[in-house]
Amino acid sequence: MAKVKKSWEKRLAGRPDSKMVEFVESLSVDKRLYKYDIAGSIAHSQMLAEQKLITQSEFKQIKRGLLEIEREITEGKFRFDKTYEDIHMAIEAALVAKIGQAGKKLHTGRSRNDQVATDIRLWVRDEIEDLRSKITLLQEAFVKLAGKYVGNVMAGYTHLQRAWPVSIAAYLVSFVEQLERDFIRLGNCSELLNVSPLGSGAVAGSTLPIDRRSTARQLGFSGISRNSIDAVGDRDFCAEFIFDCAVIAAHLSRLAEDWIIYSSSEFGFVTIDDSLCTSSSMMPQKRNPDVLELIRAKSGGVYGSLMGILTILKGQPTGYNRDLQEDKIHVFSAADTVSQSLDMARAVVSHSNFNTKRISAGLDEGFLDATALAEYLVGKKAAFRDAHGIVGLIVAYCEKTKKKLGELGPDEFKKFSASIDKDVYKILGAEKVAGKYVTEGAAGTKEAKKQIAYWQRQLAKR
C-alpha cells in the first residue's frame, strides 16, 4: 500500500525525529479502539452526507472502505505503522490509500480531539456492560454457594476476633451486596458518560453545519455535550470508571484475603478446588491459593491507575492537551485487571467448599454466645450495661474454669445474676443463637434464607 502522507507534513519541515515518533505515538495502546473509531467515522460521514457536505456516493465509498479496514484489523491483516501516531490517523490514512479523494473528506468538521473523546466514551460504555455481566455471574456463584449452607453456622468476626455466630450463607451473601453496589456504580457511570462530544471539533466546534444530534443518535448516545471547550477536555468519566474498578478490586481483595486465611490449615474453613491451586517447587505438601493472592495484589495496580488518571487530569489548561492521550493506558489497564479478577474470583467461588464439620467443631470456642446471654438478661429487665458487666464476669470465670457458657450449672449462673433461669440453655451455643436473630438484615439462618430468595429473584431479572 502506498504510504499516505500526514496532512501536517506540509506544515513541518524535515523528517520527524525517530525517538520523537516512538515517544508521541499511542497506536500501540489505542489500536484496540478501532471498532469504535470506525463506528464513529461511519456515523460522522453519514451525517456529512445528510448535511450535503459530501455526496451519497462519497459516503458509500467511505463506509465500504472503513468496513474493509475493520475486517482487516479484526483478521490481523492490517499493518500498523507508528508514524501515524494513533488509531485515528492510521485508519484515515488507510482509507485514503484505499479509496482516494473521498477518503480525504472524512475528517470534515472534525478533530482528533472530539474523535478520541467519542471513541473512549464508546469503549468505556461497552466495557461497563461487560463488567456488569461478569459481576452478575460472580453474584450468581455466591448465591448458589450460599444456598448450600443456609443451615450452617460459622463465626462472624470483628477485628478478626470471634464476635457473633452467623449463617455461612449470610456471610456469602455479604459479597453479593458489595458487588451490587459495584454494579450500580458502573451503571451510573455509564449513564453520565453517555453524551456525545462529537462535533465539538478541536475546541470550538465548526463553521460547517455539522448535525451533532444525528451522530449522537447513530452512536446510541442519549444526548450531546453542551459546551465544546469542556467536551474535548473532559475525562471525568475515565477517572470515575477507574474509581469504580478500584472499588471492585478492593472488594475482591477482601474476599481473597478471607479465603486465603480460611483455606489455611489453621482455619481449614474453605477448600479451593485443586484446579485453582498451585504447588511449590520445593515443598511437596503445598496447596497454595496463588489465584487469590494475585487478585489481592492486582488491586494495587488498579489503585495505581486511579492515581495515574487523577494526576494526569490535575492542573491541565482548559481545552484539549496531549496529556489526555495517557488516559487510555490507565483506563485499559484498570478494566483488564478487574475483568480478569472477576473471572478468576468467579472460578474460585464456583469451585470451593466450606468444611462445615470443621467449622462447627470449633464453634464453641470464643464465646460466640456471650452477647446473646447479655441480651437474654435485657429480656429479664436488666440494663444492657449491667448485663454486659455480668456476662464479662461470667466469661472470665469460664476462662479460669475452662468451661463454655453452656457448661455452667444453674447454681454457677445464680452466683452472677439471680435473673438467669433454666431457660438460658435455650439460647446458649452458637447454632442456637444464629436461629434467634430477629432484626431485619441479620446474619442468622432465617434472614439468610430470605436474602438468598431475594437475590435469586433479582438476578433472574437481569
Interacting residues toward ligand ARG by CB under 6 A: 26, 30, 86, 112-113, 116, 322, 324-325
Whether the CB-CB separation of 219 and 122 falls below 8 Å is answered with yes
Q: Smaller CB distance to ligand ARG: residue 182 or 234? A: 234
For residue 383, what is its C-alpha cell?
Answer: 440494663
Minimum Å gap between C-beta 439 and ligand ARG is 52
- Cα 180 to Cα 64: distance, rounded to the nearest angstrom: 42
Return phi, psi of residue 284, to 5°: -65, -20
Would you say 123 or 413 has its CB closer to ligand ARG?
123
Q: How many CB atoms lie within 10 A of CB 392?
A: 13
CA distances from 336 to 73, 114, 457 (A): 20, 25, 30
Q: Which residues participate in catalysis according to the annotation?
A: 159, 280
Query: Nearer Cβ to ligand ARG, position 329 or 347?
Result: 329
Closest by CA to 339, choosing from 71, 134, 114, 103, is 134
Compute the least distance from the CB of residue 10 to ligand ARG, in Å. Answer: 16
Q: How far is the CB of 25 from ligand ARG (least distance, A)?
A: 8
Q: What is the identity of the amino acid at 261?
A: I
Output DSSP code: residue 149: T
What is the smallest separation between the CB atom of 78 and ligand ARG, expressed in angstroms? 18
Asked whether the CA dihedral 96, 99, 101, 104 is positive or negative, the reply is: negative
Q: From the CB of residue 305, how many other CB atoms can be counted at a distance below 10 Å?
A: 26
Q: How far is the CB of 142 from ligand ARG (least distance, A)?
A: 38
Q: What cell was used for 360?
A: 462447627
Strand partners, 157: 162
Distance CA 26, CA 301 (A): 21
Smallest distance from the beta carbon of 75 to ligand ARG, in angstroms?
Answer: 24
Judged by beta carbon, residue 30 or residue 58, the one nearer ligand ARG is: 30
Query: In terms of Cα–Cα distance, which of 369, 252, 360, 376 is closest to 302?
Result: 252
Q: Minimum Å distance from CB 116 to ligand ARG?
A: 4
Cell of 195: 453524551
Smallest distance from the beta carbon of 325 to ligand ARG, in angstroms?
4
**Greatest CA span in the chain, whole angstroms?**
101
Determine contact, residues 183/130, Cβ cutoff 8 Å. no
Q: How far apart are CA 287 and CA 296, in angstroms?
A: 18
Whichever of 85 and 182 has its CB closer to ligand ARG, that residue is: 85
Query: CA-CA distance, 250 to 244, in Å (whole number)?
Result: 10
Q: Which amino acid is at 30?
A: D
Q: Are strands 195-196 and 223-224 parallel, antiparallel or unpaired?
A: parallel
Cα separation, 12 vs 8, whole angstroms: 6
Task: Give the residue with the Cβ less far from ligand ARG, 26 or 167.
Answer: 26
Which secondary-structure segment (H or E) carries 365? none
| Residue number, 88 or 298, with CB nearest to ligand ARG | 88
279 vs 321, beta carbon nearer ligand ARG: 321
Residue 297 near residue 250 (C-beta atoms within 8 A): no
Q: Find cell 499516505 and name the residue.
A: 4
